[in-house]
Amino acid sequence: MSEIRDSGPAIGRRNLLKASLAAGATLAAANAGLFASTGSAAADEEIPSLKGKRIAISATGTDHHFDLTAYNAQIDEVKKLGGEPIAVDAQRNDTKLVSQLQTLIAQRPDALVQLLGTLTVVDPWLKRAKDAKIPVFTIDVGTPNSLNNTTSDNWRIGSDLALQLVSDIGGAGNIVVFNGFYGVVPCAIRYDQLKAVIKYYPEVKIIEPELRDVIPNTVQDAFSQITAILNKYPEKGSIKAIWSAWDIPQLGATQALVAAGRTEISTYGVDGSPEVLQLVRDPNSPAAGNAAQQPEEIGRTAIRNVARYLAGQKLPRETYVPALIANKKNIDEVTKTLRLG
């Protein structure tokens, strides 16, 4: 968001952050207001029926908590609204993803929802669907070929998670960054916001070269990469934090720190996977912060937007679902809000 890039001196930002953290503030209230302003439904709004409608749901993969939860929520919501879901999972295989999108377009559903995906891979096929007069909707895919993209506010996630990190390390120190999926729009936004924040903290340095997270075997690969970099930086204090644009690399990184006895280093990630939030809850774990999204609500909201559009209602270009920054102090509050414990 623009206030992150254009705000005043670093000291003012740090004081503001400290005051916010001291008060136990979360992003819930601010994001809830933004969510409402983008045209999100009120809790008691009657959602139009999808009776007689065939809704295609394309997932890049469902091996991650966020992806699987959002995918299943879409299927359930289509059924709840009386429609027929045509759901396919590409299992992280781009060739399979393209083939499935071709098949879905040929079936001419009443709408198509794409869940995640590298933009260069999915966007040409979303354009083909649009050109075929199939209404296209997306989750976490920013493209002009989509009528509506349902997502968390990744600008806010990126900046607030970065500010949490900077505050925790006292505004100085080396950090390790995983940057393997810059072609995935939410990951790119979060990374750009990290860079925008640390621009105002010149004593925070990203260790080069940046690490590249991978799929599959993300946890094992992150464990190996962090173990290797710890061997290059053996002195305590030589690394202050590890950042990733999602939280499965965070899981592997955290495990590597524990195994190496380097729990003075903090880890940060995004998504709110239950196993990572459990680590944030553990006072002895290096997992210090996580931006917890609401994938079930994101999936439901995307399908409700499909129903609204097919009923003739106007939609905003983006619908933001609130996310919460979880840390050691507010983890109980966050998990209660997310109904995870």
Round the CA-based radius of gyration of the chain to a whole number and report it: 20
Number of Cβ within a 10 Å radius of residue 124: 12
Q: Are 115 and 87 in contact (CB under 8 A)?
A: no
Share of the chain above pLDDT 90, in %: 84
- What are the structural domains of the chain? 2-34+153-292 (3.40.50.2300), 38-151+295-320 (3.40.50.2300)
> What are the pLDDT digits (tens) for 24-52?
333 333 333 333 333 343 445 799 999 99
The 3-state secondary structure of 192-224 reads HHHHHHHCCCCCEEECCCCECCCCCCHHHHHHH
pTM flag (> 0.85): no
In terms of DSSP bridges, do strands 324-327 and 287-292 run parallel, antiparallel, or are they unpaired? Answer: antiparallel
Number of Cβ within a 10 Å radius of residue 10: 17
> What are the pLDDT digits (tens) for 309-331?
999 999 999 999 989 999 999 99
pLDDT band with cut points at 50, 70 and 90 for residue 341:
low
Number of Cβ within a 10 Å radius of residue 69: 21
